């Protein structure tokens, strides 16, 4: 490492000027130390702005592995309950699955189709949030519900079997 001559030169220059100006030696030394410290700081500072972190931006496809990974990280909170983000996504899945069957969460017959536990999980809006077991149960119920409306073969006009 190269020796830097600027701080001692600043100290010496300030000291000589202060003594020549009539200050005491102790005061001149203190002023010289302050000037040396200032010179040291100025010479060490970098004028360029901090470049920051270079964040990678990935192109995400709906349902891709990264989306699932993000969802898993937010799945369980500190209290063993699921996070709000998971609950929002579960509601979205539940609404779309019910809509395919011509139902909404507000319909009275939804409790017969889903069951009280799954309906309570989908309609919870405040603490305590549902547990992981409640979410697993709700996902199983939605999975059994099927992706589309089933029609009976014996009565083609029947909406939901």
User: DSSP characters for 33-51?
Assistant: HHHHHHHHHHHH---SPP-
Q: Among 31-45, 102-116, 143-157, which is the least confidently predicted range?
A: 143-157
81 and 28, same structural domain? Answer: no
Write out the residue range of the structural domain in which residue 34 sits. 6-42
Would 53 be classed as within a structural domain?
no
34 and 76, same structural domain? Answer: no
Would 155 be classed as within a structural domain?
no
Closest by CA to 85, choosing from 69, 64, 65, 101, is 69
Residue-averaged pLDDT of the chain: 80
Percent of the chain with pLDDT over 90: 20
Domain total for the chain? 2
Q: Which pTM value belongs to this model?
A: 0.49
Please, which residues have CB within 8 angstroms of residue 87's CB and are 6 or more apart in sequence?
124, 129, 130, 135
Angle at 159 between CA 154 and CA 161, to 5 degrees: 65
89 and 35, same structural domain? Answer: no
The 10s digit of each residue's pLDDT in 43-95 is: 888 777 777 777 776 665 555 555 556 666 667 766 778 888 888 888 888 88
């Amino acid at each position: 490492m190269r020796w830097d001559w600027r701080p001692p030169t600043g100290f010496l220059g300030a000291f000589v000027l202060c003594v020549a100006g009539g200050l005491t030696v102790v005061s001149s030394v203190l002023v010289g130390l302050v000037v040396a410290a200032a010179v040291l700081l100025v010479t060490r500072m970098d004028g360029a702005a901090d470049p920051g972190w270079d964040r990678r931006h990935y192109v995400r496809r709906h349902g891709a592995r990264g989306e699932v990974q993000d969802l898993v990280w937010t799945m369980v909170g500190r209290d063993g309950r699921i996070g709000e983000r998971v609950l929002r996504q579960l509601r979205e899945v539940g609404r779309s699955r019910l809509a395919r069957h011509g139902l909404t969460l507000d319909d009275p017959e939804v409790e017969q189709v889903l069951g009280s536990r799954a309906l309570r999980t989908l309609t919870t809006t405040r603490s305590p949030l549902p547990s992981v077991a409640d979410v697993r149960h709700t996902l199983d119920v939605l999975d059994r519900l099927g992706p589309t409306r089933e029609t009976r073969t014996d009565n083609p006009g029947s909406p939901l079997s």
